[in-house]
Structure 1
């Protein structure tokens, strides 16, 4: 097969990934744990061509510079393994705003890993796809899997992979509160590297977050929603604290972001259990039980104005589409 199309969804880390132990291999400074969402899919087609170079098209625009270089780097790994030098045309469509802190790169590189491996004739296991996706974007290794997944830190390219986790509790959901869809002024990679290099709090973040990964994994095994939610909110705030300690500070959260954190705390005090989280952007994600997602959304809308909210249940891992098939509805 010289053409393949794959779909992947963004994942939101409940225990965060922020900081690298190896930038070339995208090895993280600590492990992480995430929930793949059932909304905002990215669809990517990889087609081998006879052209002299790769072509990368995102939402109808041809990419250049760093964005296309990251795609070509993944294609080079696939070509090396497949034993061919054939170039490819990569056409990708996002349904989530790009570079707005909504995990668009996780979905994009998971879809790229799946589609490119098949287009170049490889048959890779999910673990191998996770490794490949990680080379494009660290968090993409988790979007290979549906539902909850843990990214094991590892010490090498072979050992730093994600794995699925089984959840036996009530169905999980996330309310995604979109404060802004604008592209971030400071990209995740730049913000991450700057935090590692200049924040006196980064080492404390690494030590504490590694412990939170283990605590969250136990909470998943025990289907303990309360503990998982408390850990998720704690991990997010600690991550942003490490950024605020950088010189100069890296600040993604806005006043409205913190207002949502406060509103979520108020919901808990009123007996509606939900927990807030945020990544490298102003947008806030609220973990809750699926059966209460509509009530959480309504309650937040009553408290916070001018914020778009989307409800996401747990989503699938990366999958292939047959020719002419469309992604399944969320």
Structure 2
């Protein structure tokens, strides 16, 4: 019996990953940049055993059906091949994140599974190679291997597509992100399907690819200069641009709900009062508000005029992979 346990935190992209150049290897169309956060995480234990005749997957103590286990088994197949291990595995995962609601549950989930497998099978992978492995499970999982600011280099092959830390002199410790939970239900259009439809059909997608490298370069300059307003403005603009591509897809779709718009407008109104804050959104209706730690209490108080306190969760910069 071979056993490993690991914990990984979610990350939220400030410069988004949207669209795959290679669906099988999960190589993205553009580089992305994220912040790993402390509030949402996944803890996973994997046990490879001669007694098992198939892979078994429990999510929050609920045995998953065949469809729910398929993605996990596909990932385990990659690990088994790498380790030359024929054994089936039992995976027990605890998500301290609403699943498939645009809160990066797949990022923390697959990063934790990759690290647990690394421990169980004694693969001794470097952080870079662990990042490459996690990417094969879920693209954004490659960024959850590291703490703080992280860049995913898109690369052109399995070997060259990986994440790495972005030097920041610890500035991320001064930042925070307030999650406005609009809806924690599973979304109608998955990230995977949404990306594919956008890449294949959206008239706006070429503009996304053309402008995102400059967004990334500007964001890294802002991080180096510790210029919060510059980083916030780029983050907000990049998110709006990503969501704009979905409106021109065929058929068009959006992850926004009426309350998403309400949240975005609330952030703009709060910013107009002199409190520096900027929004971002992933493939789901929930809105994340990037702000400075020193302003959290004031911004939370303002947001409470628009949303219930239970809908607001504050996160700070989080750690990389932890072995349990």
Shorter-chain TM range is over 0.9
- Which residue does the alignment assign to 1:204? 207
Partner SS state of residue 91, structure 2: strand
5 Å-filtered alignment, 1:281-292, equals 281-292=284-295
| Aligned equivalent of 1:230, options 230, 233, 237 | 233
Question: Once structures 1 and 2 are overlaid, which stretch shifts more, 204-213 or 171-180?
Answer: 204-213
- Which residue does the alignment assign to 2:136? 135
5 Å-filtered alignment, 1:56-135, equals 56-135=57-136
* Separation in structure 2 between the aligned mates of residue 298 and residue 150 of structure 1, nearest angstrom: 32
| Aligned equivalent of 1:179, options 175, 182, 188 | 182
Deviations 1:168-194 (A, max 9, x none): 336111000001111111111111111
| Aligned equivalent of 2:196, options 188, 193, 198 | 193
- Structure 2 gaps of 5+ residues are none
Question: Once structures 1 and 2 are overlaid, which stretch shifts more, 295-304 or 310-319?
Answer: 295-304
Deviations 1:268-300 (A, max 9, x none): 111100000000110000000112112111111
5 Å-filtered alignment, 1:142-291, equals 142-168=143-169, 169=171, 171-291=174-294
Runs of 4+ deviating beyond 4 Å: none
* Separation in structure 2 between the aligned mates of residue 77 and residue 217 of structure 1, nearest angstrom: 33
Deviation at 1:66, TM superposition (A): 4.7
> Does the 8 Å CA contact 1:263/1:303 hold for their aligned counterparts?
yes
Q: TM-score, normalised by structure 2?
A: 0.96
What number of residue pairs does the alignment pair up?
321
Aligned-residue CA RMSD in angstroms?
A: 1.4
Partner SS state of residue 38, structure 1: strand
Deviation at 1:9, TM superposition (A): 0.8
- Structure 1 gaps of 5+ residues are 322-330
Q: TM-score, normalised by structure 1?
A: 0.94
- Which residue does the alignment assign to 1:35? 35
* Separation in structure 2 between the aligned mates of residue 184 and residue 235 of structure 1, nearest angstrom: 21
* Separation in structure 2 between the aligned mates of residue 66 and residue 219 of structure 1, nearest angstrom: 43
* Separation in structure 1 between the aligned mates of residue 285 and residue 213 of structure 2, nearest angstrom: 24
Partner SS state of residue 233, structure 1: helix
* Separation in structure 2 between the aligned mates of residue 224 and residue 200 of structure 1, nearest angstrom: 33
* Separation in structure 1 between the aligned mates of residue 162 and residue 235 of structure 2, nearest angstrom: 21
* Separation in structure 1 between the aligned mates of residue 203 and residue 305 of structure 2, nearest angstrom: 39
